[in-house]
Structure 1
């Protein structure tokens, strides 16, 4: 019944969003070939605080963050450029970078479409380029806030930013300390049924995450080009305490978990243009990190203890060249090399006795290189063709309890077409071979004593290989509204899922390859003003996604979805500018109809969560002050988890036990005040 309500809400929101996509009033927007330019005054009606507010307003564009988990640089970058160049770091949040740029420092936002001469699109159909003013200025901003959960917990937050620019020289500093109540926090119950017996226990979990970050950036002219230097120190601490109340069957169980991560990173990028048609880029970065994990579970006389220590690092060097031979033909080439390592040690003890787990002592070294060649050709005014080829080679050596040496060589061709079907419609079609990257953490044993036990490491993992076809359509309604629809079809080899690993008398679940599979995804993005509905200054933005996957279960031999994938995802945002009050308010609805299923050799886990929402209001006080209040899931948000435990494997055993966990997170209210000067 709840699933039907979720789908009804999803469809109703979808219809409302599409209905709202009506022509907008004229704005300050310029059109040049393959670029849509939004001047700074286009955003005046929303009184943006920073570049992040401005990019969110651009119709038909959704920010894609860089992916720090992808090794190397080329396949990890996001879809936002800063003064025509990508960020040096792939680990820094794109949203955070945008928020550090005051709105007064932005000259324009460019929406760059595939086919723009001299631009390496990095596989994206659209890029946003934030162009900053070059006049001399100094700006700083300080922000402090406090969040309070409805269960009484309070967490502070603080941020300081400083920027100074003079021509092409700039200095940027940022300090941040943030803490929040994690979604894992909540109170509820555990209901267990075993045969005809049933019992109930209380569940109380509290998880607090504290994050600190310090970054510095420097830009200056050098050798007729521009040099950018960055440095960062980051820390993240998560502490979780879970208490499962006593019942007539079991004594109370307490689980304590702690994760402590520290990271340092430095990077450099040099960009130079030659005669306006050739761009040379060189970058290098070095990152080092350390993760310490501790988990302990006590229930009566039983005691489980897991300790893990992981050190990791990455060194990247890359050079790239983009040449526009003419306004209709350009070429790009790049060469990248990377060295990665991971050293992992872990130990599991049960009642004082060591339990050997595969992947508890792992040393991994990888050397990886990639060469890229591509072209962008416009044979006609409304057509663009982008062929490309990437050649990847890597060698991985492992030592410890699973010594192994392997090498991989992959060719990754790509062909993309773009057709402008008039002034309002754009069609895109692409076909590419994608090769996933092995997550080194999957080689190392890990534990979730509350979430279902210990996962072994798997030294024999292969990257998944995918042939991906993407068809997209974008329709613009006026200058301030857009609708886009994207269908993606994946044919996958060596699907990454879960497999059974046997070590002596012990049986463990582990990441593994399970053969061929397929995945279809349909996504819809709508951005439109609501003036036609007599909501002056109102705007709606909706992103909805449907996903269907199929793979052969390695345990039962029957078809099922890929483990841990969500069939539906969605969020809808509404905001309204109130000029008379110098205020903005809005509502963000997230996690629409989200659910997923996890498969293990002896267990199936179904997880679902209720819709989440955030109501916010922000008021500008004078020229320098902003006050923002938020209420998130004020009456709590429900989570449900059903674990079906089998007697033996799922292939030949019957369900032995069904455990249903329900909990409700506390609501959170927050108040933040920000003072900014300059820009």
Structure 2
């Protein structure tokens, strides 16, 4: 389990909502009560959210009936990575976490929210079927808040966050600033046991771990009128340090490992938007991102020392523009283009017992130049039927100078979506889209894992995987705040990204690679129901269940199998009960943590994590002081990692080693205190 900051963990736990749509167009002056539908836009006033005792815009978004929050994609580029929440009709010009951005806006700054289904005039849906538009007050009092968080694990390990947020929106000038300092512990780095079986018999190793780190996060944005439009500038700077210390003890002696990662990401962006008249809207974006990651991993025992070091430096430069034309009410055209330059410089060294080892592609530079142009149309044909169509043309060049590679690609990416309201409470939608995934630059470079002595080779010949997605979704809303949806999705993939085997003399390596065509089938059920009519006043139950079946031909055995790293079942169950008059609320969450399998060249690796649970209680005083306490993982979640290592190629040669590593995460107590001024 990866290390994370306390603030990020809180946001992740909060994002448990459901998905369903409310029908057709509602004008602001005659909007129906919340939960009732009269069109493709439903407006929610701030009074609706008081029952949930919200304090941020993110809290409000999570309580929109029948809506599931999507924070966006972390892939390179800008136009294809948007989340499904807009602020004042525009996407923020940042690729920072959208949940953080919304959490940094005080609820007192929000005028109302709009749930948009299928499309609305002047709104770019970014390929989503549903969008929530957060409309801020045009003139609001400045808001300032302080948040303190304390966490304790196992009664001995402590961590905390201190965060300050400032919001101002006056005379068309908006300023949002947030900054925090934090330290954290990695709740996945826990003491455990590893059982190994080989030709020598069964051995037991005890593992003692401790991990955590510290850092800061800062984000600021400012917008103001300019040249008849509005200009926005924003930036982030989030340095952090993560350290993990591990001791391995068995009958042969003791080994010690120390891992350090220094991560320094930053970005600077700007946006200009203006109405040009005659139904024309202009939107321009520029964004520059940089990140430097330095890893140092050192292992030593009686037999010697292994030292692995890697330095990653990535940069991204984006210029994006869009022109929208509302020809008439219900028909909008968009045309735009994006130019992106990305680069990765990675250098690594691997030394054992003072002898450098030559790992292929341990030093690599990757460059990508990409231009993507698009034209789209959104047409509300009738009150019940809307269509959205788009064609993107992507032209890109991937260059790896050290491998003398420079390949150019052109992809045509059409998208079609239709939404039909069978009734005011039931909708059916269909989407067909051609998608081209972004290549992971890390796949071009080799990496070494000292704990298992496993080397994964980089592959400078990687190409992006492509797919056709067809999905049908049926949705129904009920009881004002209730929603249920069932989605069936089918993907046909080309050039599936997985692992391949590389022979280097007598040595067999695992490498990142493309392994051909695959098929993916998903069933996604979501339920969000109020429980008042089931004798639980002010209660809400949310269930989210996803089943994923994948099939690809194994490049080693030729037999069908699952795609590596795709968990077959994912679910969350969340219950909450709000007592607004008393200022109190409580609830619990249960979340599946995963069952994962990776098919390596000479290994079969499995990981299993038991469900994650938490229970919480919150009290809000009349003077805007919020106290929340959470008991996370009260039953002590177990997880295990199993390895089956073969003498040669996996499944085609004898097994020479099996390993089973088990561990248990202790309960975690978290307390947070927030004051809004």
CA distance, structure 1, for counterparts of residue 535 and residue 279 of structure 2: 47
Residue equivalent to 1:88: 93
The 5-angstrom pairing of residues 145-164 of structure 1 reads: 145-164=149-168
Deviations, residues 430-456 of structure 1 (Å, cap 9, x unaligned): 111111111111111222222552211
Residue equivalent to 2:187: 183
Deviations, residues 377-418 of structure 1 (Å, cap 9, x unaligned): 233331122221100011122123x33111111111111111
2:325 maps to 1:323: yes
- Larger mean Cα displacement after TM superposition, 150-159 or 558-567: 150-159
CA distance, structure 2, for counterparts of residue 501 and residue 207 of structure 1: 34
CA contact (8 A) 2:35 2:65 kept: no
Structure 1's 451 and 165: CA in aligned 2 closer, same or farther, altered over 3 A?
farther
1:399 to 401, 408, 432: 401
CA distance, structure 1, for counterparts of residue 493 and residue 625 of structure 2: 52
Deviations, residues 144-166 of structure 1 (Å, cap 9, x unaligned): 22111115111121101111220
Structure 1's 502 and 63: CA in aligned 2 closer, same or farther, altered over 3 A?
same
The 5-angstrom pairing of residues 94-173 of structure 1 reads: 94-173=98-177
CA distance, structure 2, for counterparts of residue 177 and residue 403 of structure 1: 44
CA distance, structure 1, for counterparts of residue 38 and residue 347 of structure 2: 56
- Larger mean Cα displacement after TM superposition, 333-342 or 275-284: 275-284
2:54 maps to 1:53: no
CA distance, structure 1, for counterparts of residue 506 and residue 667 of structure 2: 46
CA contact (8 A) 2:473 2:485 kept: yes
1:223 to 202, 217, 227: 227
CA contact (8 A) 1:384 1:418 kept: yes
Give the secondary structure class of the aligned counterpart of 1:43.
Answer: helix
State the superposition RMSD in angstroms: 1.9
2:217 to 199, 213, 222: 213
The 5-angstrom pairing of residues 84-483 of structure 1 reads: 84-90=89-95, 92-195=96-199, 197-247=201-251, 250-275=252-277, 277-400=279-402, 402-450=403-451, 453-483=454-484
CA contact (8 A) 2:508 2:648 kept: no
1:34 to 7, 28, 40: 40
- Aligned-pair CA distance for 1:28: 4.0
Give the secondary structure class of the aligned counterpart of 2:94.
Answer: coil
**4+ residue runs of structure 1 moved beyond 6 angstroms?**
none
Deviations, residues 147-205 of structure 1 (Å, cap 9, x unaligned): 11115111121101111220321111110123322232212211112258212121222
Give the secondary structure class of the aligned counterpart of 1:341.
Answer: strand
Give the secondary structure class of the aligned counterpart of 1:348.
Answer: strand
- Aligned-pair CA distance for 1:27: 4.6
CA distance, structure 1, for counterparts of residue 37 and residue 498 of structure 2: 46
Residue equivalent to 1:604: 604
Structure 1's 209 and 60: CA in aligned 2 closer, same or farther, altered over 3 A?
farther
CA distance, structure 1, for counterparts of residue 627 and residue 140 of structure 2: 28
CA distance, structure 2, for counterparts of residue 417 and residue 27 of structure 1: 26
CA contact (8 A) 1:358 1:458 kept: no
- Aligned-pair CA distance for 1:580: 4.5
CA contact (8 A) 1:81 1:127 kept: yes
Structure 1's 267 and 30: CA in aligned 2 closer, same or farther, altered over 3 A?
farther
Any gaps of 5 or more consecutive residues in structure 2? Answer: 1-16, 19-31
CA distance, structure 1, for counterparts of residue 533 and residue 352 of structure 2: 65
Residue equivalent to 2:670: 670
Structure 1's 301 and 616: CA in aligned 2 closer, same or farther, altered over 3 A?
same
Deviations, residues 444-484 of structure 1 (Å, cap 9, x unaligned): 12222225522111100010010111111111013211111
CA distance, structure 2, for counterparts of residue 111 and residue 425 of structure 1: 16
- Larger mean Cα displacement after TM superposition, 111-120 or 507-516: 111-120
CA contact (8 A) 1:195 1:656 kept: yes
CA contact (8 A) 2:191 2:207 kept: yes
CA contact (8 A) 2:108 2:143 kept: no
Residue equivalent to 2:7: none
Residue equivalent to 1:11: none
CA contact (8 A) 1:33 1:116 kept: no
Structure 1's 27 and 382: CA in aligned 2 closer, same or farther, altered over 3 A?
closer
- How many residue pairs match? The answer is 649
CA contact (8 A) 1:27 1:480 kept: no
CA distance, structure 2, for counterparts of residue 116 and residue 315 of structure 1: 30
CA distance, structure 1, for counterparts of residue 456 and residue 408 of structure 2: 25
CA contact (8 A) 1:142 1:161 kept: yes
Deviations, residues 270-298 of structure 1 (Å, cap 9, x unaligned): 11124483321000011111010111222
Give the secondary structure class of the aligned counterpart of 1:98.
Answer: helix
Deviations, residues 285-316 of structure 1 (Å, cap 9, x unaligned): 11111010111222331422110011110000
- Larger mean Cα displacement after TM superposition, 197-206 or 405-414: 197-206
CA distance, structure 2, for counterparts of residue 302 and residue 507 of structure 1: 24
CA distance, structure 1, for counterparts of residue 549 and residue 219 of structure 2: 40
Give the secondary structure class of the aligned counterpart of 1:41.
Answer: helix
CA distance, structure 2, for counterparts of residue 502 and residue 228 of structure 1: 53
Give the secondary structure class of the aligned counterpart of 2:401.
Answer: strand
CA distance, structure 1, for counterparts of residue 521 and residue 304 of structure 2: 45
CA distance, structure 1, for counterparts of residue 140 and residue 515 of structure 2: 58
Residue equivalent to 1:79: 84
Give the secondary structure class of the aligned counterpart of 1:86.
Answer: coil
TM-score (norm 1): 0.92
The 5-angstrom pairing of residues 531-546 of structure 1 reads: 531-546=532-547
CA contact (8 A) 2:584 2:620 kept: yes
CA contact (8 A) 2:546 2:569 kept: yes
